[in-house]
Amino acid sequence: MSDCCTTETIDIKVEPRIPGKIRTVALVGPPNSGKSTLFNRLTGLRQKVANYPGVTVEQHVGKLSGIGRSDLMLIDLPGIYSLDSYSEDARVAVDVLHGRMPGTPEPDAVLLVLDSLHLRRQLMLAASILSLRLPTLILLNMSDLMETRGGEVDTLALAQELGAPVARISASRGTGLDAITHFLDRKSEPDVPRNTGRLELPVLGNARSYRQWATGISTRTKYKAPLSSEWTRKLDRLLLHRIVGPLLFLVVVIAVFQVVFSIGQPLSDGFGELLNGAGDRIGAYLGHGWVESLVIDGIWKGVASVLVFLPQILLLFLFIGVLEDSGYLARAALIADRVMRSIGLNGKAFIPLLSAYACAVPAIMATRTIENKRDRFATILVAPFMTCSARLPIYLLMIAAFIPNKPILGDFFGMRAAVMLSLYLLGFLAALATARMLKSSILKTASAPFILELPQYRLPTLRSLGLRVFDRGKVFLKQAGTIILTVTIVLWILSHVPFHATLPDSVIGRVGHWIEPVIRPLGFNWKIGIGLLSSIVAREVIVGTLGTLYGADSLGLQAALHHDLTLGGAMALVVFFAFAMQCTSTLAIVRRETNSWKWPALQFAYMSALAYVAAFATNQIILWLGH
């Protein structure tokens, strides 16, 4: 609160800039004002995504190539309602605008995007932005919609009132953008006078005076709010209906999963075969030797084992994108809030946690919609407990090898299905218990209320969905890719040193032997130990490792495992996988999203400890039962 009102400080810091010359432009606007759409339109694919230093707020930066000004840099600030430091987002915005953000140049001009359908409230943000006295262009977005719905505003009068140019645009259609070009051209020339002090602004920091100021301006500029979208209300009457609402919600959820598994799985399989085929061909060029082994068995297969998830991950990003852009995500949060509250989280955590059933990576990245940092971290920490698709290969293998296919409830529900379902339930319960525990201890929230804005329904554009999937996919590959590459190379070296050693005699094999006393109480042998170590990259790697160790194909492996392990050990293994954090990609993404190694380290330690204890208990109970 206190630092938002001391505008004097910026006047001192203006010096290093070349007066009137623009190099950096900041894009500011409230949430749901179409700011991201405009950013994408102005920068296109050439944008960079990173976290601001020291915080978990994402920074999007791009060149203004969309309007032919590649010499200028556009910084997309997080969506904010005011410059009050209520949220981390607002604090970041204030720091960037004041040039106090390390690594980010002080902006020379501001593009302020306002939703012209709700101009009165949005003007409140304009007051605090204008008080910064930076050259500002005000963009009334969705002006096409405003006009068709009978809204009006005197743009010229508004420009006079605000002492800044005002332009009507439509970010989704790309109209009116030449105003930005004009504004930047004019401001690029030297000696353009800045806004002088004659502008009458409300008392800073006082929301009431902001409101009066905004009301005054909207009256004087003859602003007539357009009729609110009829079909948003009509659609809500159905989608938030007491009975129909939750049912439709369920249908949406099931449909998403159906598509992710029925389309994503074959895509992943096909992609995997393609990668393996390419690996074999590259291997043929390299001949037989340690180079071939490092490149193919080490790097290529390791990276491929993670890349095969890319189709599913991208599909999930696409669905989350559709939900968010259409406006349904907020409704889903509203429907789920009551349930989520019982575990100490809020409704916004629901969709991310649900996505984690396919893959924790997109789920953790989707937690950005949760504004409350502690809620967001709690969601990130519990998401990997949800049964993701990487756990299925080992589940299926062990169940097929050890559980007889006896019917329980007729032909439809047998013993194998029951075990599978229990494993899903186990992960879910672990997530619930952990969330409760976190929310009543280290991530306890004092008094952050759940405030949810329900935006109007919109048809998502292909352009913005495409960019979103592209952008998220890039972040995943970059973050996870680098760490996975390191881990796979290290694991390869450990499993090939000393030279010409077979896997059991290598360093990793010896470690596997060495940890055997530790894992014996769980019913595991040294081969399983090696499998556990190798699957630190990704869970499904253990199936391949066990295949190598037992020298068997799928059916042979089932028989070999059945011979080598007890039922207790086998069930302990799947329980171990239900809880353990055997996924380097997830750890990499958690590090990125929490901006520290502390959280992924805590998560890894906690999940491993829980996995060990639970696997131990499983084995001992089954032994005690006499198997």
What are the residues binding other proteins (CB under 8 A)?
A: 1, 81-82, 84, 86-87, 117-118, 120-121, 124-125, 205, 207-208, 210-211, 225, 228, 233, 236-237, 240-243, 245-246, 330, 334-335, 337-339, 341, 347, 447-454
| Shortest Å distance, C-beta 421 to other proteins | 26
Residue 182 or 237: which CB sits closer to other proteins? 237
What tokens does 155 get?
Answer: 């743009």
> CA-based Rg of the chain, rounded to a whole angstrom?
28
The three-point CA angle 335-341-345 to 5° equals 105
Among residues 80 and 567, whose Cβ is nearest to other proteins? Answer: 80
Distance of CA 295 to the CA centre of its chain: 31
Q: 78-90: buried (b, 16+ CB within 10 Å) or exposed (e) per residue?
A: bbbbbbbbebbbb
Q: Which of 319, 343, 536 minimizes the C-alpha distance to 428?
A: 343
What single letter denotes the amino acid at residue 347? G
Could you list the beta-strand ranges (E) of 488-625: none
Nearer to other proteins, 251 or 263 (CB): 251
Nearer to other proteins, 336 or 575 (CB): 336
What burial class does residue 154 get, using C-beta atoms within 10 Å of its C-beta: 0-12 exposed, 13-18 middle, 19+ buried? middle
User: Can you tell me the distance from the alpha carbon of 171 to that of 109, in angstroms, rounded to the nearest whole number?
Assistant: 19
- Note if the bond before 498 is cis, omega within 30 degrees: yes
SS3 state of residue 404: coil
Q: What is the longest distance spanned by two Cα atoms in the chain?
A: 89
Least gap, CB of 620 to other proteins (angstroms): 41
Question: Closest separation between CB of residue 375 and other proteins, Å?
Answer: 13
State which residue, 248 or 477, has the beta carbon closest to other proteins.
Answer: 248
Nearest-approach distance from CB 225 to other proteins, in angstroms: 6
Measured from the CB of residue 192, what is the shortest distance to other proteins in angstroms?
31
Nearer to other proteins, 81 or 385 (CB): 81
Across 32-70, b (16+ Cβ under 10 Å) vs e yields bbbbbbbbbbbbeeebeeeebeebbbbbbbbbbbbbebe
Whose Cβ is closer to other proteins: residue 117's or residue 382's?
117
Asked if residue 448 lies in contact with residue 356, where contact means CB atoms within 8 angstroms, the answer is no
Pick 120 or 463: Cβ nearer other proteins = 120
Min CB(496)–other proteins separation in Å: 57
The least CB distance from residue 245 to other proteins, in Å, is: 5
Minimum distance of other proteins from residue 146's CB (angstroms): 12
